[in-house]
Structure 1
Amino acid sequence: MGSTFSGLNTALTSLYAQRRGLDVTGQNIANANTEGYTRQRVTMQAQNASLVPGIYATTDAIGNGVTVSSVDRMRNAALDQRSYTEHANSAYHNARAGAYNLIEDVFAEPSDTALQARMADMWDGFNKITTNPSVTAPKASLLEEANTVASSINDAAASLNNQYESARTGLDTYVDDVNKAAESVAKLNNQIVVASKAGLAANELQDQRAQTILSLSELVGASATETPDGSINVFIGSSPLVSGFNARSIEIAPGSATRLEDLSTTDVNLRWSDTTTGVAAGGTMGASMELLASGGTLQTMTSRLDKVASTLADTVNAIYKTGYAVDGTTGNDFFVRNDGDTTQAVTASTISVGVTDPAKLAISSGDPTGTPKVLNGNIADTLSELADSRSGADSEYQSMIGELGVSAQSAIRRRDVQNAVTDQVDAARDAESGVNIDEEMTNLLTYQRGYEAAGRVLTTIDSMLDQLINRTGMVGR
């Protein structure tokens, strides 16, 4: 049979349990806008009067109240794994699309001030000389337009190299971020395992760890698996980054390229610090490696721009060399390297105009100083027709811009599709683990009423005991 005072303990356990529910609900409300926070739920369990009743026990086994068995994180492990994968894919496609947008900004086509329009002005300048081969003004104008074309190509090459150096510096920063995050996950693993074995809740630490792993997935395409002791192992590809309480580090191999021109002799190598084997990076770093590597996007675009510059120089010089200037000068190049090196081909970063004096322009098919003297604009006319050549610089440049536009549009479409998928996964996660203020307010009222009811039970039992202790035996006095 239960004790006279057992009801006090029953009511007291209810007060403790309802108060714990109020505390957890308040924690949820306080962190409703905290990134990475997972809502928590109190799980209550009735306490039995006797866990192992005897054979001849006569207890009524009504129970000894309620206890909080656990405070659970409302997390779905499958959605977490899906989130890591989709966020890694989104980070990769976002970085890739962003890189293509920057490259498109370099050329800014179509535009009245872009390279295509500049070359059109130059060809038109040659055409104007055709009708007035002895007039200086059209020649001076042509030289200015040609210098603008060369400068535009130089600037585009410099911008691509600047983008390379910026992305390369960013890769160094990403490596440091990955190593720090890996160390953080290893430390959190240790703290969570120790807390769990001590019977303590580590929900907030688990939230912090999950958020760090999500950052790793976005940075380097990491995946994760949970172990029975509560720690999480993190992988890049199939190689472990974090194993229990231990973290590995990654590095960029010494001597890796830091400029576009370095790619002719070396590459950008991302490797494990302990084994020096390659890292199969995904996420933002995967896109950066694709951008920076030998044969990558930036080197390919620079090579195509070099092809435009060399085609322009070769096609113009081949015709220009056969012409005569007013003073009879012939056999010179119109486009040359700005470093004076005649043994190397003209490139986008080195192309320049080799003629500075309008009087030295070789635009005549005949020698103005010969016998008979011939001064015409036939060479200039032939050069102006290069604008429509299918093998000329314009055609090469248009092909390059067309391919760039297709690649950029494809990258943007894939980014948009992937972001939509990631948003859907995030929405599913939020529905599972996000804090709903309306739901928490309902819980708040529920625990409040439970607490008040337990207090009323405690007051009632106290009144009964007061009657028993202080009033019994008072009859007739």
Structure 2
Amino acid sequence: MGSNIFSILNTAKLGLLSQQLAIEVTGQNIANVQTEGYSRQQVNFEATTPRSFSLGQLGTGVRVAGIERSHDEFLFSQILSEGDTLGRFQVRKDVFEQLEILLSENNGQSLNQTLSSFFAGVQDLSSNPTGLPERTSLVAEAKNLASVFNNLGESLFQIQQNLDATISVKVAKINSLTKEIAAFNQSIHANEPTTFSANDLRDKRDQKIKELSGLIDLNFVDEQDGQISITLNDGTPLVLQSTAFTLDTSINGNNKSFLDIVVLDGAGNSTNITSSITGGTLKGYLDMRDTEVEGLRDKLDRLAAGFVQEFNKIHQQGFGIDGSTGNNFFNALTTTVLTNTSNTGSATLTATNGDPSNISVDKYEITITGSNSLSLTNLTTG
């Protein structure tokens, strides 16, 4: 009889202890309802080992089999996928808003307003070609137009420089996150020697992974030991279990000395991964710097060059007060030579405009292919 009473009391005790733990977990869930990144936890119960006797088996109570997170791996993967898309387009939105303000008609001295004022001056002068006030006014309008073109070009380049500086900051943030994720991997592996899951550590790691996905595209793989490995979409490793790979920047001498992104392999070797990055804010900054803003600068340069060239052609057909003809109104276009800062040796390259009246506004690349040979590529037309 004593044995039976003991068994009954023990079964009741196990039930109470198990339910007490369940209540504690419920309290933890309620306390963290506003905690970002916290996953609701639930207690899993299982029956204890039954006792065998002549009539069969008799249960001995209940015990906690584990405490698991309410975590949907598929949904988490979708969040990461959308995170890098959101990050990329958020950057594009922000930069386009800057460009909209810069090019706005309400900017006080917009290009459209300045061109209109210039042609109004031309119209006034055409009514009185010898009038000194009209001639002086047109020259002032022309100088103002040139200043607006130059200021717009400088402002666009400043935006590119700001984007370039931000890229360096984002690379440092990515390195910080990958190191934290690798450290969480190590802690989770150390704290999960049994079937119990380190839920809080996993929540914190997931938060870091979500933050990382907003910065750069990634794929992740759950390892059997509780750790995860993270790569870019092309397979470039960022985190392999407890090892984090470091990203760095290197100057691209063929791109206005802007920064490229490289990954270090731990042995001092680096691999350029700029073209491999397909998502996140980092991709957004790269695209806006090298494609969108650069494209606007190129269009602005071509507009200014074409305007000067065509206006000079028309002006050359007229006559000055002194009877001279063939005169330029604007200074003749000059050729700009940008040298790849990564070039070796001491040789320098210059270009001379042999026919200012027939200059091309295209961009060209000259590459030395041998001791006495070179190649010329039109970058504008391909």
User: Who is 1:210 aligned against?
Assistant: 206
Equivalents in 2 of 1:111, 1:201: separation in Å? 59
Mapped contact 1:47–1:64 kept (Cα < 8 A): yes
Q: Which residue of 2 aligns with 1:38?
A: 39
Task: State, as a whole percentage, how many aligned pairs show the same letter.
Answer: 27
Deviation by residue 1:353-388 (Cα, 9 ceiling, x = unmatched): xxxxxxxxxxxxxxxxxxxxxxxxxxxxxxxxxxxx
Q: Distance in 1 between matches of 2:163 and 2:59?
A: 67
**C-alpha separation between the residues in 2 aligned to 1:343 and 1:122?**
22
Higher relative contact order (CA 8 A, sep 6+): 1
Counterpart check, 1:79 vs 2:75: yes
Q: Give the match for residue 304 of structure 2.
A: 309
**How far did 1:263 drift?**
2.2
Distance 2:132 2:13 in 1: 105
The 8 Å contact of residues 317 and 334 in structure 1, kept in 2 or not, is answered as yes
Q: Secondary structure at the match of 1:206?
A: helix
Contact 2:249 2:260 in 1 (8 A): yes
Contact map agreement 1:182 1:242 (CA 8 A) in 2: yes
1:345 to 1:164, Cα distance in 2 relative to 1, 3 A: closer
Match of 1:277 among 244, 268, 271: 271
Q: Which range moved further: 81-90 or 203-212? A: 81-90
CA shift, 1:27, in A, is 1.4
More strand by share: 2
Count of paired positions = 330
Aligned residue in 1 for 2:177: 181
Query: 1:164: how far off?
Result: 0.5
Counterpart Cα distance in 2 of 1:71 and 1:109: 61
TM-score, normalised with respect to structure 1: 0.64
Contact 2:66 2:196 in 1 (8 A): no
Q: Is the 8 A contact 2:231 2:237 kept in 1?
A: yes
Aligned-partner Cα distance in 2 for 1:286–1:96: 10
Shift of 1:268: 3.9
- The one-letter code of the counterpart of 2:289 is L
> 1-side partners of 2:34 and 2:195: how far apart?
28
Q: Is the partner of 1:241 in helix, strand or coil?
A: strand
**Correspondence for 2:237:** 240
**Of the candidates 255, 279, 298, which is equivalent to residue 263 of structure 1?**
255
Structure 1: segments with no counterpart, 5+ residues: 347-392, 394-477
Counterpart-to-counterpart distance in 2, 1:230 and 1:170: 34
Deviation string 1:269-296 (CA, Å, 9 cap, x unpaired) is: 2221124223211211122222333xx2
Larger fraction in helix: 1
* More off after superposition, 167-176 vs 317-326: 317-326
Contact 2:220 2:231 in 1 (8 A): yes
Which residue pairs with 1:414 in the alignment? none
TM superposition shift of 1:335 = 2.2
1:344 pairs with 2:326: no
Query: Contact (CA 8 Å) 1:313, 1:335: kept in 2 or not?
Result: yes
Q: Name the stretch that deviates more: 168-177 or 29-38.
A: 29-38
Deviating beyond 6 angstroms after TM superposition, the runs of 4 or more aligned structure 1 residues are none
Match of 1:334 among 320, 329, 333: 329
On the 8 A contact 1:233/1:244 being kept in 2, the answer is yes
Structure 1, residues 63-114: CA drift from partner, whole Å, max 9, x if none? 3332111111011111111221121122122223333333233211587742
1:286 counterpart residue number: 283
Asked if structure 1 preserves the Cα contact closer than 8 Å seen for 2:66 and 2:195, the reply is no
Cα offset, 1:192, TM superposition: 0.6
The AA in structure 1 aligned to 2:288 is L
Structure number with bigger Rg: 1
Letter paired with 2:270: T
Cα pair 2:109 2:148 within 8 Å, conserved: no
What is the CA deviation profile of residues 33-65 of structure 1, one whole-angstrom value per residue up to 9, with x for unaligned ones? 222211111112232333xx3xxx348754333
Query: Which residue matches 1:438?
Result: none
Structure-2 residue corresponding to 1:93: 89
Structure 1 residues 225-244: Cα deviation after superposition (integer angstroms, max 9, x where no partner): 10111111101121221111
Match of 1:23 in 2: 24
Question: Would you say the 8 A contact 1:125–1:138 is kept in 2?
Answer: yes
Deviation at 1:118, TM superposition (A): 1.3
Letter in 2 for 1:239: T
What is the CA RMSD across the aligned residues, in angstroms? 2.6
